[in-house]
Amino acid sequence: MKQRPSAATALKLAIVGLAAVTFAVACAPEEETEVSYSIAVFVPGVVEGSPTYEMLVDGVRRAANERDGVAVRVIEGGFNQAEWSEGLTSLSATGEYDLIVSSNPSLPEIAAEVAEDFPDQRFLILDGYGHNHESMATVLFNQREQAFLNGYFAGLVTTHDGLEHVRDAGRIGLLAGQEYPIMNEVIRPAFALGAQTVDPDIEVDFRVLGNWYDAGTAQELAGSMIDRGADVILTIAGGGNQGVIAAAKERGGYVLWFDSPGYDHEPGVVLGSSIIRLDTIAYERTLEAIEGTRSFGVSEVVGVREGYVDFDTEHSLYERHVPSDIRAEMEEIVGRLHAGELELEMPRL
Ligand code: RBF
C-alpha cells in the first residue's frame, strides 16, 4: 500500500510545486512557446560587413518580434556561390519553414529552381527581380537612381575647390566585389552618368575585387586608384569596404558608401552615402507574410518616389564635412527625382 505523505510534507510538496510552476512561467525559454510561424533567413555570404545583409536580418527580426510565436533562424550560406542552391534545397527539404527570406540579384533564379521541387515552400527575395514564380515574391531597388546619386555627389566632390583631398585629375573610382548584370549594366553606367552630369570630362576608374571579403587586396586596389588620381571612391565590396577606407585614410581620399548610412565607419573620410531601405521593406513584407496578406508570384521595383531609395543628407557627419554648396545641389537633385522631373527607370535585365 502506498504511504500517504503527512500533512506537513504535503504542504511542503505543494509549496515546492507551486514555486516550480512559477519559475517555469517566469523563465520559459523562447523555444518552448508554441511556434506558429517559422522563418529561415538565408544569407548568401556572411552578415558582418555587408550592408544589405545586415539590414535584411534586422528587418526580418523586427517583424518577427512584433508577433507571438514567430521563430527566425539565420543561416549564413558562405562565400562559395556554388553551394547556395544546395543550401536553399536543404532548408526547403526540412519542410520546417513557412518562409525563406534572402537577398541578392542572383537569388531569384536559384530559388525558382529549388521551388520546382518544393511547391509548398514560399520565398521572399529582396535586392533581386523576376521569374514571377508563383511561390516567390521579389523586391528590386531602383539602383539606377541610387548609383546616379552617388555619381552626382562624386562629380560635385571631384570638381570642388574647397575640399582638402581633391586634386585636378577629374577622376573618381568604383570598386565592385564582383561583376554581375546589375553592376555592369545599371550601377556602373549610372554612377558614370551622375558624375558626367556635373562635368562630362570626369573619368571613372572601375576595379573588381573578385570576392566580397578581402580587405587587404581592396586596400591595394583603392591605393592604386588614389595614386592614379581618383579623389573619391564608391565601394561596393562587402567586407572589402574596410580596405578602401584604410587606403583613403592612408593616402588622403574620400569614400562613398552604398546601401546603408556609412558615415560612422570613418568620420570625414566616408563623405557621402546613398541608402536603400532594405530593412524597412524586409520588415514590411515579412510581416505581411506572417499575417497571410502577402501575395506571391509578384515582382516589385521600388525607388526614390516610393521612399525606398535615397541619399542620406540627414546625418550630422554629412552636415559637418560636406560643403554647403554641395549639400544644396544634392537636395535639389533628390527633389527632382522625387517630383518625377528626372526619370531614371530600371532597365529590365
Ligand atoms: N554585397 C555584399 O555587400 N556582400 C556580399 O557578400 C555580396 N555578395 C554578392 C553575391 C552575388 C552573386 C551578387 C550578384 C551580389 C552580391 N553582393 C554582395 C552585392 C549586393 O547584392 C548588392 O548588389 C550590392 O550591395 C549593391 O546594392
φ, ψ for residue 306, nearest 5 deg: -80, -10
CA gap 50, 267 in Å, rounded: 19
Cell 552636415 belongs to 319
For residues 139 and 294, the answer to whether their CB atoms sit within 8 Å is no
Question: How does 209-222 read in b/e, with b if 16+ C-beta sit within 10 Å?
Answer: bebbbbbeebbebb
Q: Where are the domains of the chain?
A: 7-141, 143-275+308-339
State percent of the chain over pLDDT 90. 88
For the Cβ of 105 lying below 6 angstroms from any atom of ligand 1, the answer is yes
Q: Can you give the C-alpha Rg of the chain in angstroms?
A: 25
For the cut 70, the answer to whether the pLDDT of residue 23 exceeds it is no
CA gap 243, 250 in Å, rounded: 10
- Give SS3 for 176: strand
Burial class for 2, CB neighbours closer than 10 Å (0-12, 13-18, 19+): exposed
CA gap 349, 343 in Å, rounded: 18
pLDDT band at 19 (very low <50, low <70, confident <90, very high): very low
Residue 168's pLDDT is 87
For the cut 80, the answer to whether the pLDDT of residue 63 exceeds it is yes
Q: Whose alpha carbon is nearest atom 21 of ligand 1? A: 104
Q: Of the given ranges (12-26, 113-127, 212-226), which has the lowest mean pLDDT?
A: 12-26
Tell me the CA–centroid distance for residue 104 and ligand 1, in Å.
6
Domains 7-141 and 143-275+308-339 share a fold: yes
Residue 147's pLDDT is 98
**H-type alpha helices, 66-103:** 84-94
The mean pLDDT of 138-157, rounded to a whole number, is 98
CA gap 285, 154 in Å, rounded: 33
Tell me the CA–centroid distance for residue 1 and ligand 1, in Å.
73
For the cut 50, the answer to whether the pLDDT of residue 136 exceeds it is yes
Tell me the CA–centroid distance for residue 29 and ligand 1, in Å.
35
CA gap 304, 334 in Å, rounded: 8
Other beta carbons less than 10 A from residue 201's beta carbon: 10
Pocket-testing residue among 42, 43, 46, 52, ligand 1, by greatest number of atoms within 8 A of Cβ: 52
For residues 282 and 120, the answer to whether their CB atoms sit within 8 Å is no
Q: Give the ligand 1 atom nearest the CA of 51.
A: 3
Q: Whose alpha carbon is nearest atom 12 of ligand 1? A: 106
More confident residue, 319 or 14: 319
Tell me the CA–centroid distance for residue 157 and ligand 1, in Å.
26
CA gap 175, 235 in Å, rounded: 5
For the chain, give the mean pLDDT.
91
Residue 32's pLDDT is 60
Q: Which residues have a Cβ under 8 Å from the Cβ of 210 and sit 6 or more positions away? A: 177, 178, 217
For the Cβ of 239 lying below 6 angstroms from any atom of ligand 1, the answer is no
* Residue 5 grid coordinates: 505523505
Q: Which of 213, 249, 176, 175 is nearest to 45 (CA)?
A: 213
For residues 343 and 173, the answer to whether their CB atoms sit within 8 Å is no
| CATH 3.40.50.2300 fits domain 7-141 | yes
**What is the CA angle 200-201-207, rounded to 5?**
105
pLDDT in tens, 75-119: 999 999 999 999 999 999 999 999 999 999 999 999 999 999 999
pLDDT band at 25 (very low <50, low <70, confident <90, very high): very low
The mean pLDDT of 53-68, rounded to a whole number, is 98
For the Cβ of 180 lying below 6 angstroms from any atom of ligand 1, the answer is yes
Q: What is the CATH number of domain 143-275+308-339?
A: 3.40.50.2300
For the Cβ of 42 lying below 6 angstroms from any atom of ligand 1, the answer is no
For the Cβ of 210 lying below 6 angstroms from any atom of ligand 1, the answer is no
The mean pLDDT of 325-345, rounded to a whole number, is 97
Tell me the CA–centroid distance for residue 250 and ligand 1, in Å.
26
The mean pLDDT of 14-32, rounded to a whole number, is 38
Residue 27's pLDDT is 36
For residues 79 and 211, the answer to whether their CB atoms sit within 8 Å is yes
Q: Which of 149, 183, 197 is nearest to 303 (CA)?
A: 149
Which amino acid, residue 197? Answer: T
For the cut 70, the answer to whether the pLDDT of residue 143 exceeds it is yes
Residue 187's pLDDT is 98
For the Cβ of 263 lying below 6 angstroms from any atom of ligand 1, the answer is no
Residue 169's pLDDT is 85
For the Cβ of 312 lying below 6 angstroms from any atom of ligand 1, the answer is no
CA gap 340, 213 in Å, rounded: 37
List, edge to edge, every strand of the sheet that includes 122-126: 70-76, 37-43, 99-103, 122-126, 136-141, 298-302
Q: Which residues have a Cβ under 8 Å from the Cβ of 149 and sit 6 or more positions away? A: 194, 274, 309, 310, 311, 330, 333, 334, 337
For the Cβ of 259 lying below 6 angstroms from any atom of ligand 1, the answer is yes
pLDDT in tens, 200-228: 999 999 999 999 999 999 999 999 999 99
For the cut 70, the answer to whether the pLDDT of residue 196 exceeds it is yes
Other beta carbons less than 10 A from residue 59's beta carbon: 25
CA gap 213, 80 in Å, rounded: 12
Residue 130's pLDDT is 81
DSSP state of 260: S
pLDDT band at 132 (very low <50, low <70, confident <90, very high): confident
